[in-house]
Amino acid sequence: MIRTLRPTLVLFLICAAVLTAQAQFYQLTGRITDEHGNPVPFASVYKKDATAGTAANNEGIFRLRLPQGEHELLIRAVGFKQAIERVMLNQDSHLDVVLHTESYLLQEVVIGKGEDPAYAIIRQAIKHRRKHLYEAAPYTAKVYIKGVQRLLQAPKRFLGVDVDKIGREIGLDSNRTGIVYLSESESRITVRPPGEFREEMISSKFSGNNRAFSFNRAADLKLNFYENHQPIIDGLSPRPFVSPIADNAFGYYRYRLLGTTQEDGLTVNKIEVMPRRKAEPLYQGDIYIVEDTWRIYGVNLRLTKESSLNILDTLEIRQEFIPVGGGQWQPSNIRFDFVGGLLGFRIGGYFAAVYSEYALNPEIEKGQFNEVLRIAEGVNKRDSAYWTEHRPLLLTEEERLDYIRKDSLQQRRESKAYRDSLDQVSNRFKPLGLLSTGYTYRNRDKRSFLFFDGLVTSLLFNSVEGLALNYDMRYTKQVDTVAHRDMTLYGNARYGFANYRFNGYLGAAFPLGQSNVHIYGGSTIQDLNSRGSLPPLFNTISTIFFGRNYQKLYERAFGGVEWRYTLPANVKVAATANWENRLWLPNGTAYTFWKRNEQYLTSNNPLVPAEDIPLFEENRAFKVGLAVSYDFGTKYETYPNRRIYLPSKWPTFSINYNKGISGVFAADADYDLLVARLYKTGVPLGLYGQLSFDISAGTFLSGKQLYYPDYRHFNGTQTLISDQQLSTFLLLDYYRHSTSANFLEAHSEYNLSSILTSKVPLLRRLKLQEIVGLHYLNTTEASHYGEIHLGLQWQNLRVVYARGFGTEPGLRGRDAIRIGLRLF
């Protein structure tokens, strides 16, 4: 009998122990204020000698779940003296905490050579920087992130758009102010300092959309001042920001000791950080350094427009550290507060991260850090009860109401009746719209839209067709809502009013399993340079107003298929097969706006500009191609039903093989072309800007029968204004140097990212970026030709001076001013 009851008794005791353990956890809530009764936002609250902790919200309210018994809590906030509270929990309890403004005492010191004592402390911090950067053992932690963005000011109308109406639809008040973004996320991070980082999102909540994932990521708030430089956010500045304890920090900052204080047995120095120069990527504010160990205790730093900020006016950064065992310190919380504005709009808000549940030396599997981010199915489906229990930063009343209001609006938006009503309004046909910007017919319920191009924007002019209509239509439908994959059908109709030729084609692009397929066929008028000479708009202006008809064209009838697939390790493969019929065309008009410019018009044969002699006879080609590219990177992000590989720090290497097969479908062309390419854009050089390069080399392995469209072509420039790309030669003819033999081309550009112009007061506000470029080409037609260019860039506009050099007599010594304008 005893032997029979023993398993039942053991099971009963286990269940009783579990229930007892669950019953022994209680909620501790509280409010943190200063000595004047004002809330202290985002103060850290954590258990001493443990990693259990939380933070107060921006109203000073916090909540912490702890087991029954006595606990010693540390409450900290930058600028306040640390408080220690002992609590005994045997039920849910409340605790009010008053933090007193920290009093930093400045002791009398002997200052040698008039130097502030802060410099000696910073020297020690710099000396120990690498030690603290690499001393940390691998660890895991839980990170909660909240992001709030508010519209602080907005005009009633903007570019003809009724901002008032949009504001009502997204829940703003009558003044067009309020929360426009509210998001929360929980992640589990695994870190092997200093650089290996993996994040797995546990839960995600986005105000007004239960299908979207939060934009809050722990990786975006990863900020390590032991690194020499911090990029912080892409696009915020052309250069990374210099840490106050970087190896060369004394060349960028001045320091002043504001005082010292005692915190939990530690001597903490408060040091003011001041930039030496304006318009440099530098912080200002306070950094707190622990005496003897010389580690960072906390920071309260600020970036402004004078720090070369883009978009934002100010960005304030607060960071606090806590000991997590083994002599290791890690962040307890990080907060970014920002304010900015543009074109009558003002925004403000914050992103705050709370770290907890640190665990040192976890078991790390081989290759674990290749997956940088994992978001599994269902992380955005947590209900309100889950968030009530798990969020460490309690919602303010405004945030709670925003969730309710936005969720209600989202339910309304997701109803078929609401989507149909939106479609009914947006799908109203407007004749003027069809003439200018085009017309779009949407069906939100079926996630599809049909777009018709604008008639006026479809007009172009060239010397072959004269005035021509190049009209596009496109239908897109989302066929995979999780992976955001679309099916697209498109068509084009083209008619030249001078040569009376009509062309048109159809195509379809769609996902097939994990690959993508593209099928197309028809006819069109195409540039003789398959890599493009100059955009049709630029050619239209150049031909009509200046008589420079640089673009040369031919008629191409075609049909083909393309298949693309990404293999593991981000190896991209593409295979193509297409048939073409190529027909050279003569000029169809000699019209220019001013008759005197007709003398500058040339024939449609770029090699014989004085006569319309056919460049090639009508011919056909059947071509197959295989392309493989690899960027030597293994980092990726995993989302439900898809994987996205991240750009590598290494260059991308690709090999392309194309073969023209004669006899198939009466094809004439017969050749083999092999091209290898190595390229990388935006290679970071720290404070010294970034570098981009593109190197290609190729050979025609065989060339039994080639026609001009099969040649290897190069991007040239012959106009003052052009669409400059990295691989664009600034002085080269568009067509004369195309080759049917071996070739080597190389392009590089160094962007100094305002290193020089930031020193000039009149140029500083323009945020001009200095650029230096070098180009090289070696072919049978252009032996050892090179170009160098120097210039300035602002947004999508650049002005450069280019000069040619090398052994080619007709090219060396040429120079010109070029204006680069990127329209799209």
The residue ranges of every structural domain in the chain are 24-99, 136-234+338-409, 237-309, 431-530+553-684
- In the chain (824 residues long), the average pLDDT of successive 10-residue segments reads 36 36 70 90 81 82 86 85 86 88 68 79 95 89 90 83 77 82 91 90 77 66 89 78 95 94 88 91 94 93 87 90 84 90 85 89 89 89 86 87 82 77 83 86 90 94 97 93 84 96 97 94 96 91 95 97 91 96 96 94 95 95 97 87 86 97 94 97 90 97 94 94 92 94 96 87 83 94 90 92 86 88 70
CA 823: distance to chain centroid?
Answer: 20
Contacts of 105 (CB under 8 A, 6+ apart): 259, 260, 261
Judge if the upstream peptide bond of residue 240 is cis by omega within 30 degrees of 0. Answer: no
Could you give the CA distance from residue 298 to residue 317 in angstroms, rounded to a whole number? 10
What's the burial of 417, exposed, middle or buried (CB within 10 Å: 0-12/13-18/19+)? Answer: exposed
Six token digits for residue 208: 């007004």
Tell me the pLDDT tens digit for each residue of 388-411.
888 888 888 888 888 888 887 777
The confidence score (pLDDT) of residue 308 equals 80
- Select from 734, 693, 724 the least CA-distant residue to 817: 724
Could you give the CA distance from residue 639 to residue 214 in angstroms, rounded to a whole number? 13
The confidence score (pLDDT) of residue 824 equals 55
φ, ψ of residue 725 in degrees (nearest 5): -115, 170
pTM of the model: 0.86
The confidence score (pLDDT) of residue 16 equals 36
CATH architecture of 24-99: Sandwich (2.60)
The confidence score (pLDDT) of residue 774 equals 97
The confidence score (pLDDT) of residue 426 equals 81
SS3 419: helix
SS3 340: strand
The confidence score (pLDDT) of residue 26 equals 81
Q: Is-contact 190 368, C-beta < 8 A?
A: yes
Angle, in degrees to the nearest 10, between helices 397-414 and 416-426: 80
* Per-state percent for the chain, helix, strand, coil, to nearest 5: 15, 50, 35
Strand partners, 800: 791, 818
Q: Is-contact 744 778, C-beta < 8 A?
A: yes
* Strands 502-512 vs 448-452: parallel, antiparallel or unpaired: unpaired
